[in-house]
Amino acid sequence: MERIKKLIKITILFYAIGGLLVLIFTFRRDTFQILSSINIYFLFLIIIFWISSIFFDILKLHILLKKLTNYAESLYFTLKIHLIGLFFNAITPFQTGGFPFQIHILTKRNVSVPDAMVSFMIKGLSNFLLAFMLVPFAIFVFRKNIFILPIVIILFLLLIFFLLIFFLPHDFIIIKKIEKKFKIFKKLTHNFALFKSTWKSFIKMGKLMFSVFILSILSFLFHILMTPSIFYGLGVKVNPIQAMFLHTLSLVIFVAMPTPGGSGITEAGGALLFATIAPKYIVGVFVIIWRFFTYYLGSILGGIIYLKENTFK
């Protein structure tokens, strides 16, 4: 418990430092005017979007666990597992703490480790892949943005690279040659082989795959809708499509940062991204609110559940 409290303090420290630095570099006189004219109605809209996103995400997890394992718990219990996962992701480097702890919870409920792993792997990767597959469309959206376009092109090339690894056979001659030259690439292709076998089995499941796909889209849509809503709530008109796509890009770019939950780095990086479509004086305030609703709110609730309920310790 002491170690967890220490990790929480470190996460808060990084978030505070990142948020403070962003505010220092973006705060202007106009910022006071914006803060005094926040539209409270948009706050309710953002909360509705947040609840909707969480609901469809846990419904997807619940269906996967019911279909792929002997899971017999309620939807409310699934919600608690999901939020606790968010909490442990937020306090661990590279956001790696949630997955193993969620598996641990399920094993105490007589769910086998392999079945639980497959369920969570499909759930997590479906969200990430959806974000990644939107990258090609971002080229069109940001075709006139000289700062964002190069980033999108790099991500697009990475997407093609990963697709080649996914579809080419593992013993393909080019892959073998690269593996011999770079050991880290061998580990990457091994992980891709595991992912490929899991995903191919999932694709064959028909109705389950379709349900997960639809729920992923709904959860993802409500999640990214929070971004333009925050801008409008602050009284700043931005291109909503660009705002949602920048949010999407941030999910891909900042997915594996070395700080706990990507705190500090994501705030600073997010400020640089959104400064390309919004006035500088509002970016700092926006980023703090944006990260709170799109990431920390669920983590905080998960932390409260974990710390209050002995069932999960």
Contact status, residue 18 vs residue 265, Cβ threshold 8 Å: yes
**Closest to 268 in 3D by CA, of 96, 259, 299:** 259
Residues 253-269 have a mean pLDDT of: 93
**Confidence (pLDDT) at 32:** 81
pLDDT exceeds cutoff 90 at 298: yes
Residue 225 lies in a domain: yes
Residue 195 belongs to some domain of the structure: no
Q: What is the pLDDT of residue 179?
A: 58
**Domain assignment present for 145:** no
Do the domain assignments include residue 148? no
The residues near 53 (Cβ < 8 Å, ≥ 6 apart) are 219, 220, 222, 223, 226
Residue type, 74: S
78 three-state secondary structure = helix
Domain count within the chain: 1
**Among 24, 92, 40, 149, which residue's Cα sits nearest to residue 263?**
92
Q: Is residue 178 part of a domain?
A: no
Residue 109 lies in a domain: yes
Q: Given this model, what pLDDT does residue 312 score?
A: 65
What is the residue range of 278's domain? 2-135+212-312
* Mean per-residue pLDDT over the chain, rounded: 88
Domain contains 12: yes
Among residues 239, 253, 292, which one has the least CA distance to residue 43?
292
Report H helices in 204-257: 207-233, 240-253
Residue type, 33: Q
Percent over 70 (pLDDT), the chain: 88
pLDDT of residue 171: 60
Q: Which of 118, 29, 21 is nearest to 71 (CA)?
A: 118
Compute the Cα dihedral for 202, 208, 211, 216 and give only its sign: negative
Q: How far apart are CA 225 and CA 223, in angstroms?
A: 6
17 occurs within a structural domain:
yes
pLDDT tens for each residue of 54-67: 999 999 999 999 99
Write down the residue that tokens 């792993």 correspond to: 117
